[in-house]
Structure 1
């Protein structure tokens, strides 16, 4: 039967290089570079000119060769004879890739800035009453030390509760509550306690969904 396999002029050359670098197989090279084995097959067959520039850029650092060295090492004779045009084309494609990367980075930065502004705006809306009333309440408290603190507390408490509710943040337990000690949710401030023993909540902790933000600080009962 005739041999239907494609010739692979670069196979031995690539294997020798892989052996020097400690890369055990083409599959291992494929995984290390993040390229498909089909692309490596083209390289082994001497079809580097059919490979995309981004693939060559991924292979270059893994094979510890510059892009120009990679092209010079694995190019076919035909490609080497017309070296000037393909090299210029490669340089132009690399420049295009860099430009696209810079454009993507700029877009991400702009999106990040917009999201930050939206977050700040929504937070300020939730804290509106605090922002508007707190300076006046604080000034009155300085002018009149006898002013009951209980009148000022709601100015802070209500906006804070709205903000925590909007962000899905919940208190683990109210101050003064007595609960079975759970070391995953509670942090002892003093003394000792075994899991399940009653402790007193001195400083509340917070959960955001299933994520623990802060453990509640407790003392043994």
Structure 2
């Protein structure tokens, strides 16, 4: 006969083990589902953080691009400023060099004129006294009309500032007679347009070239082919725009 007690105990043990296994399986399933849910939450949180970081990165990148463009613009402006400074420095140096050349030329002209004056004074001192007196007498005779009227003309101009200049021209007529007497001829006419000739003209203009068209501002004088005073010329007349 089968011992029912042992059979019952075995059945109970089997049922108990089955229940334990079922419970254990359920717990494992719940644990796995919890882990899965937790992983999804973590992934969801990581995704949001990544998007936020991506947006921040895009903003930083945009700021960096803008800053780079500003730096390039500033570098361009700096280069332009440097170029202008170099150009202004070159122009200043050129102007300084030209001024130095003009000063040197003027000093040479002054030195030449001083030498001529000394030579003329020496020549005059060597002339016989009677010859000098005769020359002074003849010169006075030619200038006496002008010398007689000149003081009166000064008073008239002083008392009447609006006194017409044309009324003074007849008083200067003796000068034409003197020039004719001494065979002195004028070089050019006032405001006449001529070709620049360094032999008979002088100017304070820069870089004038021979045969360039100029205007006579002040006439010069020559005597028997000898230049006594070169005529002063300029590129423009008074009041004209140089440009």
Q: TM-score range by the shorter chain?
A: 0.3 to 0.5
Tell me the TM-score normalised to structure 2 length: 0.43
User: Which structure would you say has the larger Rg?
Assistant: 2
